[in-house]
């Protein structure tokens, strides 16, 4: 074999090997390309279909704990600028959302102060002058002949021994110590003479006092209108006059309350003055005298002085009752 022939075979072998190597490289490149394309196809987001764009495969949950994690590739993930689809024909009921904050608390409109700086006077001065007992000098023994009939503001006369003893016969009140105008006609009153409870009619018939001072209405001003108040007050007058016609009857004003009284939304001096005006009108209609103690018990601000009350702003202490009796003595019925 010549050297030329041998060289030719070597060249042919080299060419064959090169073809094999190139073919292998091409096959490898093609396999890498196909693998890459396959991977890209699996990881690329799917375009929304007609159903997903319409919103049928997506739903909102009220509580994240009630739903599975959202799938990738939904219309909500890639079409964020697409307006929401119209609602479905059937409403989907979901649980109420969990609130993390309390709803805002409703606030009430500020209330008008119940204790203004000054309480104005509301009396009809001309009518008051017709029935109010004038200032004068009490005859000897006048106070000893008086009987006070009334509510808890009168009952305190026993506690503070205004007439010398808790067992005084000059104070008529129920054993409970309180008496509302709207129950006065039926509630029993303690009779210190017989040591028993009697109706007002029986007590008047039994004792027949010379003078009887009526002090009622403070409990009624919280709820009673003018007609109700006047009707029940007139009923008391009728009972007394029918059962003790010779008794000299005096209608006394309701006492004022102090600024410290806590229930002024229900009972305050404006309401009390209005009720006192009704009592003045009742006195006028019945030809009876009116004892205007209220005027002597209020300060310049229109309130009962704090030094007159026993701690609750309504009921008197010994100083308050001394002021009451001073007025009674200086404005006698003669």
Per-residue model confidence as pLDDT tens digits over 101-115: 444 444 454 444 456
The superfamily (CATH) of domain 125-330 is SGNH hydrolase (3.40.50.1110)
DSSP character at residue 138: P
Say how far apart CA 139 and CA 64 lie, in whole Å: 92
| Nearest Cα to Cα of residue 292 among 256, 334, 241 | 256
Asked if 286 and 331 count as a contact pair (C-beta separation under 8 A), the reply is: no
Mean pLDDT of 292-316: 96
DSSP strands (E only) in 151-247: 171-172, 189-191, 196-198, 211-215
Q: Residues with Cβ < 8 Å from 2, sequence gap 6 or more?
A: none
Asked if 255 and 294 count as a contact pair (C-beta separation under 8 A), the reply is: yes
Q: Which pLDDT belongs to residue 304?
A: 98
293: pLDDT strictly greater than 90: yes
Q: For 289, list phi and psi in degrees, rounded to 5.
A: -80, 155
DSSP states along 109-136: PPPPPSS-S-PPP---HHHHHHHBPPP-
Say how far apart CA 191 and CA 1 lie, in whole Å: 164
Q: Which pLDDT belongs to residue 214?
A: 98
Asked if 294 and 276 count as a contact pair (C-beta separation under 8 A), the reply is: yes
Say how far apart CA 73 and CA 58 lie, in whole Å: 11
Mean pLDDT of 140-163: 97
Task: Report the 10 Å Cβ neighbour count for 232.
Answer: 19
Buried b / exposed e along 146-178 (16+ C-beta atoms within 10 A): bbbbbbbbbbbbbbbebbeeeeeebbbbbeeeb
Environment class of residue 102 by beta-carbon count within 10 Å: exposed (0-12), middle (13-18) or buried (19+)?
A: exposed
Say how far apart CA 324 and CA 334 lie, in whole Å: 18
271: pLDDT strictly greater than 80: yes
Where is pLDDT greater, at 199 or 22? 199
Q: State percent of the chain over pLDDT 70.
A: 68
167: pLDDT strictly greater than 50: yes
The tens digit of pLDDT for each residue in 32-84 reads 676 666 565 554 444 444 443 334 333 333 343 333 333 444 434 433 344 45
Mean pLDDT value across the chain: 80
Q: Which pLDDT belongs to residue 18?
A: 75
Which helix (H) or strand (E) covers residue 53, if one does? helix 50-53
Asked if 260 and 238 count as a contact pair (C-beta separation under 8 A), the reply is: no
Asked if 111 and 264 count as a contact pair (C-beta separation under 8 A), the reply is: no
Where is pLDDT greater, at 224 or 5? 224
Mean pLDDT of 188-211: 96
Q: Which pLDDT belongs to residue 118?
A: 74
What CA–CA distances, in Å, run from 57 to 46, 48, 67, 78, 193?
14, 11, 14, 14, 95
State the distance between the two ends of the chain, measured CA to CA, in whole angstroms.
Answer: 176
Instruction: Look up the pTM and report it.
Output: 0.66
């Amino acid at each position: 074999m010549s050297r030329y022939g041998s060289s030719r075979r070597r060249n042919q072998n080299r060419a064959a090997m090169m073809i094999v190597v190139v073919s292998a490289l091409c096959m490898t490149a093609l396999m890498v390309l196909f693998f890459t394309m396959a991977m890209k196809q699996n990881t690329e987001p799917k375009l929304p279909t007609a159903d997903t764009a319409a919103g049928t495969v997506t739903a909102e949950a009220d509580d994240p704990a009630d739903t599975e994690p959202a799938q990738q590739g939904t219309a909500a993930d890639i079409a964020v600028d697409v307006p929401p689809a119209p609602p479905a024909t059937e409403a989907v009921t979901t649980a109420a959302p969990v609130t993390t904050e309390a709803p805002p608390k409703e606030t009430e409109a500020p209330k008008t102060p119940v204790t203004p700086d000054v309480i104005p006077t509301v009396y009809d001065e001309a009518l008051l002058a017709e029935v109010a007992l004038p200032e004068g000098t009490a005859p000897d023994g006048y106070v000893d002949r008086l009987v006070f009939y009334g509510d808890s503001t009168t009952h305190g006369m026993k506690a503070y021994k205004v007439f010398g003893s808790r067992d005084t016969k000059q104070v008529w009140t129920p054993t409970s110590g309180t008496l509302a105008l709207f129950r006065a006609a039926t509630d029993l009153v303690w009779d210190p003479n017989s040591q028993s409870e009697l109706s007002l009619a029986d007590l008047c018939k039994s004792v027949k006092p010379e003078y009887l001072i009526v002090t009622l209405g403070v409990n009624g001003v919280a709820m009673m209108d003018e007609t109700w108040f006047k009707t029940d007050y007139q009923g008391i007058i009728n009972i007394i006059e029918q059962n003790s016609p010779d008794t000299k009857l005096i209608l006394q004003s309701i006492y004022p309350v102090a600024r410290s009284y806590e229930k002024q939304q229900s009972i305050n001096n404006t309401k009390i003055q209005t009720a006192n005006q009704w009592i003045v009108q009742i006195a006028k209609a019945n030809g009876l005298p009116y004892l205007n103690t209220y005027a002597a018990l209020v300060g310049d601000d229109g309130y009962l002085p704090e030094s007159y009350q026993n701690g609750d702003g309504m009921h008197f202490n010994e100083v308050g009752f001394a002021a009451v009796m001073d007025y009674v003595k200086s404005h006698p019925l003669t």
